[in-house]
Copies of this chain bind each other. A is one copy, B any other.
């Protein structure tokens, strides 16, 4: 009758490749040569895209932008592990996976350029709109997965959030609903060590973020998030479970936000340079390049071609982005409801009058 153990839980930590690109064969997931090359191509494209967006913002050609540099390996392998019918419910730093899931790049730029039409997701792209309020999107992912399950559809959902996002009440409610209804949902926490200026250790007292899954009765795994192979293996494991009806999984991907929080932020105010140097040595693209070279998957020519192709793709998208005509003021009214209400019709007319009057003077 004395003290007994009522519960024991544990969290594994997965990594496959070290910082020099050497892999642990026992842990190495099955991936074809072509798949590995595909990952490199997408990661390079994402990096080039990111650099370009940063520059566009600085040149006043785009609005506030949140860079993903350094976090590519948290996303590209997940896209690879997903089935076609699966959905992504992103936060706002998920450019790599959004693009790899087929979102047209030029249109995606419209969004960051401040145009709602950027989030008129094409019908065949299984991505939900960018969610700006931190923590809110996970519930949508759980609801979508739950709904698919109720309809007998074999669809898993993947939702992204940061270390900071785990503090919001909605994270808790999403994880709990996922556990209770055993929804096929993969929760991907990109633990990039910072929520703007707040370091991970001030965000929660928990030793790992992965262990938060224990509170909901499902599996959490901590993964080297700058290691494409570890991320792929963990995502595959979680998605296989999801598709097999075995419920949700939380992955904590250990990574680093290499840039400022957004183009409005100046991380120098709060981050030590040593930390950045530490993580620069663990750059996910460099690691994959080392692996590829050491294993005879590619040479420098291939890498250069990845880069050249990426630059060309991005430049073309930017051109299309900038050529896009301005939205019409009517658009502000037309999508409030399926049919415009009388009030909105009147207000739209009123606004038109105002605009006419303003133009006249």
A285 to chain B, nearest CB (A): 20
Can you give 7 contacting A-B residue pairs, CB < 8 Å? A1-B27, A8-B10, A180-B204, A204-B215, A205-B218, A206-B215, A206-B216
**Given contact pairs A172-B169, A215-B214, A215-B215, A6 touches B205 in the complex (Cβ within 8 A):** no
- Residues 196 to 247 of chain A near chain B (Cβ within 8 Å): 202-208, 210-212, 214-218, 222, 247
Closest residue to A14 on the B side, CB-wise?
B3
- Residues 10 to 57 of chain A near chain B (Cβ within 8 Å): 10-16, 18, 24, 26-27
**Docked-complex contact A205 and B216, CB < 8 angstroms:** yes
Interface presence of A345 (CB below 8 A): no
A3 surroundings in chain B (CB, below 8 A) = 12-14, 27
**Docked-complex contact B5 and A12, CB < 8 angstroms:** yes
**Given contact pairs A2-B24, A24-B2, A214-B214, A179 touches B167 in the complex (Cβ within 8 A):** no
A22 to chain B, nearest CB (A): 9
- Give complex CA distance A214, B167 in Å: 14
**Given contact pairs A216-B204, A218-B205, A210 touches B7 in the complex (Cβ within 8 A):** yes
**Given contact pairs A171-B172, A205-B179, A4 touches B12 in the complex (Cβ within 8 A):** yes
**Docked-complex contact A24 and B12, CB < 8 angstroms:** no
Interface presence of A176 (CB below 8 A): yes
**Docked-complex contact B6 and A8, CB < 8 angstroms:** no
Interface presence of A147 (CB below 8 A): no
**Given contact pairs A26-B2, A214-B214, A207 touches B12 in the complex (Cβ within 8 A):** no
A89 to chain B, nearest CB (A): 18
A26 to chain B, nearest CB (A): 6
**Docked-complex contact B173 and A169, CB < 8 angstroms:** yes
- Give complex CA distance A233, B14 in Å: 40
A4, A168, A208, A211: residue with the most chain B Cβ atoms closer than 10 Å = A211
Task: Provide the A167-189 mask, 1 if CB < 8 A to any CB of B, else 0.
Answer: 11111110010011010000000
Closest residue to A212 on the B side, CB-wise?
B215
> Which positions in A face B, CB cutoff 8 Å?
1-16, 18, 24, 26-27, 167-173, 176, 179-180, 182, 202-208, 210-212, 214-218, 222, 247
A2, A18, A202, A247: residue with the most chain B Cβ atoms closer than 10 Å = A2
Taking a contact as CB atoms closer than 8 A, the residue among B13, B168, B172, B202 that contacts A4 in the complex is B13
A6 to chain B, nearest CB (A): 4
- Give complex CA distance A6, B206 in Å: 12
A10 surroundings in chain B (CB, below 8 A) = 5, 7-9
A11 to chain B, nearest CB (A): 4
Q: 3 closest A-B pairs (Cβ-Cβ)?
A: A169-B169, A205-B217, A172-B172
Taking a contact as CB atoms closer than 8 A, the residue among B11, B14, B27 that contacts A7 in the complex is B11
**Given contact pairs A1-B27, A170-B169, A202 touches B217 in the complex (Cβ within 8 A):** no
**Docked-complex contact B180 and A203, CB < 8 angstroms:** yes
**Docked-complex contact B1 and A16, CB < 8 angstroms:** yes
**Docked-complex contact B173 and A208, CB < 8 angstroms:** no
A2 surroundings in chain B (CB, below 8 A) = 14-15, 24, 26-27
A10 to chain B, nearest CB (A): 5
